[in-house]
Chains A and B, each alone.
Chain A
């Protein structure tokens, strides 16, 4: 049988090395290790998320991404924060960025809040066209890019949090 989970498959170690690994695992469980541990054997391309916040923010200056004719800039956005399990997230294939889908709309991670002594990560998304989001659509975070568009039925009944306009907090300065 082939190894599972890129970079993370368990392996045999010498007794002394095993002891070191067990020690490190114990440290990780109690939250002070600082780095991710070997993955589970889970092979799902999807990552469960927990809703943290959704705020409309006006930035002090435009954020400009990319270069060339397709470059994008925006000065305000819905700043959506979701929490994920660090071990599950880090066990994904290392090169693949998980994309967030709300309905069929696709969003890339803007920022990963990675703190060494925490077992979770907070992901930030900037959604410039938030008014077009489908109320009630599930948050789908997956490395199977495009799957919600190719196979919408696959996520129709997915459990977990869903986008809800009522939780959005408008943090933009009030106009006089």
Chain B
């Protein structure tokens, strides 16, 4: 035990030394590195461990039985092994919970490797597909860093619960959290009470994949009205659905969305709608939200159980597949290992930032820190802080492109298109009848600009709003739009400047792609969603305000009167959320 304590102490000291700042250069360990804790693990398997979700009348829940409590648990332990005591190095450990999405729940051949599976409410125990084991690669690493990790099975929900599907996933998460709470307070866990007093239930993070991604958003919203609410401090959704008839909404915690552009399953990128809806301008309470939009990443490879044997490199007996369904054709692919590395780095950074208070990991989500462990050239970031001021959120109904949110005038002479549009492919929550551009796989009102020669867009800031000195960045969301057959192409570069009341501007305009790229749409065609080509996904651009004030430009951040965006060449794009932020 003394040895373990010394190991952790040394690790902590090393981290502190490494974190010393010199010329604003941070040197931190990568978020996904293996930590100092030995990893213990147990499997929970209680056939009737869950109650209260099923309703025989069908009025308040599904009639189908949702009772199985099946989960893999990994935790910081005194020694490696099954059911070994929890490490005594720290008093309590924060909690990370994973929930998978929909996959066959019953393996028909049972002898693997095979792809023969199906959906059944009566699957023999030996044939139950353990989708929840597909995140062990993340759980093991998290546990080694001092985070209690549990991945729960949605086995009873997988055949499809219709209107209750997502509600049941959210409620299942809360039932498991109730269970963990009881374990740590009363020592009631079925492993000899090893978790008594060991879980820090005031720091809970959720990660959900696919329908599980919608489930974690549901859980944090249902948690608000739960009689036994939990302290959920971070929510991550991986390639989530957004299909509940009443759309769930992030209201309670920072949100991180991880989506692969090669997704052959949730091909309409509906998860972006959950980001668009989260913490809008004017919301009373806001938390940071971020997106990693990953070129070459598919739907399944974030989960090893859903990965085909060839890509996994080892036989997978549980009906894994590439998910490139319906002859999806793409030109860029990440390997399954690369894709998992993206998940490891980003989700661990997100969880460790919010569960362990390692604030420096925020800079991974802003795109400023490029961790060496993942293929950064494929990862496109959007980050919007809770502290931000919209110059134009483009949310006017009826649409009016000539006036911004602050009631300042907007001009765009010479553009061939200058209009506000609903940027949406399907299932919008906006009133019907709005002019819509279906090339954008979002649900937000935004600005459409098209130009045949270089032009300048100007948005003016009225006098009460001109002091932006408390902010550090000028941020926008932008997406390149292209038409015709999918081809390779360059991204868009915008030249952005600000001007103060004395007419002073940055000495040169900031070229957007020197800070954050606005990429050409990912090349994909075919697949289940034949019209899901040239998907225009909004992408964040963050320009430090000090760029405009450097070299004695004289620009006063206390009196900014306008923002200009100049285009080059010809092109078309969508624009949203012109903001000052942190």
Contacts and interface: CB of A to CB of B under 8 A. Distances in A.
Contacts of A2: 322, 324, 327-329
Most buried by B among A13, A94, A106: A94
Chain A contact residues: over half helix, strand or loop, or mixed? loop
Given A37-B118, A109-B162, A95 B529 contact: no
Contact of B245 (A66, A114, A151): A66
A42 B328 CA distance: 13
Interface string B155-170: 0000111110101000
B308 to A, nearest CB: 8
Interface string A72-113: 100000000000000000101111110000000010111110
Contact of A35 (B123, B251, B325): B123
A93 B528 contact: yes
A5 B247 contact: no
Quick one: which of B211, B324, B326 has the most chain A CB within 10 A? B326
A7 B106 contact: no
Interface stretch (B55-63, B482-490, B550-558): B55-63
A68 B323 contact: no
Given A43-B325, A150-B426, A24 B122 contact: no
Task: Output the residue of A67, A95, A123 with the most chain B CB within 10 A.
Answer: A95
Contact of A110 (B57, B106, B163, B527): B163
A108 B163 contact: yes
Given A35-B123, A65-B163, A145-B426, A6 B325 contact: yes
Contacts of A111: 58, 62-63, 162-163
A135 interface: no
Contact of A24 (B104, B109, B167): B109
Nearest to A115: B121
Contacts of B119: 35-36, 90, 114
Interface residues of B, number: 73
B427 interface: yes
Contacts of B103: 7, 94
Contacts of B115: 7-11, 38
A20 interface: yes
B242 to A, nearest CB: 10
B120 A116 contact: yes
Nearest to A108: B245
A34 B58 contact: no
A20 B111 contact: yes
A175 interface: no
Interface string B502-521: 00000000000000000000
A159 interface: no
A92 B267 CA distance: 12
Interface string B543-566: 000000000000000000000000
Given A2-B328, A24-B109, A68 B245 contact: no
B265 A93 contact: yes
B427 A43 contact: no
B299 interface: yes
A34 B120 contact: yes
A17 interface: yes
A167 interface: no
B114 interface: yes
A36 B118 contact: yes
B364 interface: no
A161 interface: no
Contacts of A8: 115, 321, 325
A68 B221 CA distance: 8
Contact of A43 (B120, B211, B322, B528): B528
A143 B325 CA distance: 13
Contacts of A68: 221, 224, 246, 248-249, 251
Contact of A67 (B101, B118, B160, B221): B221
Contacts of B165: 97
B243 A45 contact: no
B265 A96 contact: yes
B244 interface: yes
A10 B244 CA distance: 32
A21 B114 CA distance: 10
Q: Which of A13, A59, A93, A108 has the most chain B CB atoms closer than 10 A to its own CB?
A: A93
B475 interface: no
A108 B243 contact: yes
Nearest to A92: B528
A144 interface: yes
B438 interface: yes
Contact of B109 (A4, A21, A108): A21
A7 B162 contact: no
Contacts of A1: 327
B241 interface: yes
B246 A93 contact: no
Given A59-B59, A93-B325, A146 B265 contact: no
Interface of A: 1-11, 13, 17, 20-21, 24, 33-38, 43, 45, 59-68, 70-72, 90, 92-97, 106, 108-112, 114, 116, 123-124, 126, 143-147, 149-151
Given A13-B114, A68-B246, 5 more contacts: A24-B108, A90-B119, A123-B162, A145-B425, A149-B426
Interface of B: 57-60, 62-63, 101-104, 106, 108-109, 111, 114-123, 159-163, 165, 167, 210-211, 221-222, 224-225, 239, 241, 243-249, 251, 264-268, 270, 299, 319, 321-329, 425-427, 438, 527-531
29 contacts: A7-B321, A8-B115, A10-B115, A17-B111, A20-B109, A20-B111, A21-B108, A34-B122, A35-B117, A35-B118, A60-B57, A60-B59, A71-B246, A72-B246, A93-B325, A93-B326, A94-B210, A95-B211, A95-B239, A97-B165, A111-B58, A112-B161, A112-B162, A114-B119, A114-B160, A145-B425, A146-B425, A146-B427, A146-B438
Which 7 pairs of residues, A with B, have the shortest CB-CB distance? A66-B246, A146-B426, A35-B118, A6-B325, A36-B118, A43-B326, A145-B426
